[in-house]
Structure 1
Amino acid sequence: MLCNLIILRDFQKKFNLMKKLILFVLLSFVMNYNLSYSQSDDSMESWNSYKTPGHVHEMLAKATGNWNITTKFWLTPGSDAFTSKGTSSAEMIMGGLFLKTSDKIEGMGNYRNGSAIIGYDNSAKVSQKIYIDDYGSGMLYMTGTWDEATKTVTYKGQMMDHDKDAYVDVSETMTFNGDTMILKAFRPDSKGNQFQYLEFVFTR
């Protein structure tokens, strides 16, 4: 009889321990599930914000269409400007996230063809631009900031300076104003001082 009581008591202890263990496992599962669900919810919200066109994308979309271009180019600070004309077409791609432009500029008896992809990273809060043309094998990548008050993007990047056979710091400003856009580009002179060497005026 005593032996049976001892066995029964031992069984109850093991049973109670097993119940606590099962309860602990269930609680851990529920907590981990809720945490995972919450993290998944936050990730989805972040991703939706990242991939949804915002206010800056709406401003870029206003640049879609066909444009006439008047250009000025300066070889050195204070030199006379070379002028030329061209055309540009612009369209939004990838669901309204990026502006793609295709330019054709007359100069030195032939045409320069160029193309740009312009966007805005919602997460990094940074404007981005990639530019290519048939005057070089490299890609110009620039990042910058958007000034809402002046409707201007200021870009910074690097490009090849063939006089120095090296990459140098360059910058651009792009101002949006309805049916007029103005691009100004700056690079270092022979002394390393930045000067405006290029201006594109887009009209439609």
Structure 2
Amino acid sequence: MKYLLLTATLLALLLSHPAQAQSADEQAAQKAWMDYMTPGDMHKMLAKSDGEWTFAMTSWMSPNSEPMKSTGSTVNHMILGGRYQESRHTGNIMDMPFEGIGTLGYDNAKKVFVSSWVDNMGTGIMHMEGQWDEASQAINFTGKAFDPITGKDYDVKEVFKWVDDNTQQMEMYTVVDGKEVKNMEITFTRK
């Protein structure tokens, strides 16, 4: 909370002074904040996915297990002045109602995509960061998730691909016995 108040106070001070009355350091700080807070091309790219989607998901509990299939709906919309895309997912997984909320953004300062995920199948928050790959039209995310069975975090990788304007694909991988294993794939189709 202290960081939030300090950030808001600093930003208000920087923006309230005319540029000619500011020192070079103050002008540089103001420019850095404006660059950091202004949505750009990557945010516009995310906004193109706003709307209603359906999804078909295949997941595996372990590498040799039978795949589980489920379907559901997703609604995407940009929030906070076009800075982040919120995705709300509903469906059924293993005959249980499923709800999940994802937040996807682009950090102008770090030059990376940022993602968070929460759902009703746990009580933690998964965070990931990733780079855009123009050749594959995908964001390659890496991060950590928590395993309540072992009580430890584990590495996760997600590849989120724009197939076309009406189709997206997501693949999720975990590391099992030192090997990267796909544990989920989802195809999203625009309604």
Is residue 56 from structure 1 mapped to residue 42 from structure 2 by the alignment?
A: yes
Q: Which has the higher strand share?
A: 2
Other-structure match for 1:125: 111
Aligned mates of 1:35, 1:125 — CA distance in 2: 31
Flag the structure with larger Rg: 1
Other-structure match for 1:115: 101
Is residue 170 from structure 1 mapped to residue 156 from structure 2 by the alignment?
A: yes
TM-score, normalised with respect to structure 1: 0.78
- 2:171 maps to a residue whose letter is K
1:200 CA drift (Å): 1.1
Is residue 186 from structure 1 mapped to residue 173 from structure 2 by the alignment?
A: yes
Aligned mates of 2:149, 2:180 — CA distance in 1: 15
Other-structure match for 2:14: none
- 1:180 maps to a residue whose letter is T
1:160 CA drift (Å): 1.5
Aligned mates of 2:82, 2:22 — CA distance in 1: 32
CA RMSD of aligned residues (A): 1.6
Other-structure match for 1:145: 131
Is residue 96 from structure 1 mapped to residue 55 from structure 2 by the alignment?
A: no
Which shows bigger deviation, 135-144 or 39-48? 39-48
Is residue 198 from structure 1 mapped to residue 171 from structure 2 by the alignment?
A: no
Q: Note the 1:61-72 alignment, pairs <5 A.
A: 61-72=47-58
Aligned mates of 2:114, 2:167 — CA distance in 1: 21
Which shows bigger deviation, 147-156 or 135-144? 147-156
Other-structure match for 1:10: none
Other-structure match for 1:44: 30
Is residue 155 from structure 1 mapped to residue 141 from structure 2 by the alignment?
A: yes
TM-score, normalised with respect to structure 2: 0.83
1:38 CA drift (Å): 2.0
Q: Percent identity?
A: 29
What secondary structure, in the 3-state scheme, does the structure 2 residue paired with 1:124 have? coil
Structure 2 gap ranges (5+): 1-19
What secondary structure, in the 3-state scheme, does the structure 1 residue paired with 2:26 have? helix
Aligned mates of 1:105, 1:196 — CA distance in 2: 21
Other-structure match for 2:63: 77
Q: 1:167 to 1:135 in 2, by over 3 A?
A: same
Q: Which has the higher helix share?
A: 1
1:60 CA drift (Å): 0.6
- 1:48 maps to a residue whose letter is M
Aligned mates of 1:41, 1:149 — CA distance in 2: 38
Structure 1 gap ranges (5+): 1-33
- 1:184 maps to a residue whose letter is E
What secondary structure, in the 3-state scheme, does the structure 1 residue paired with 2:23 have? helix
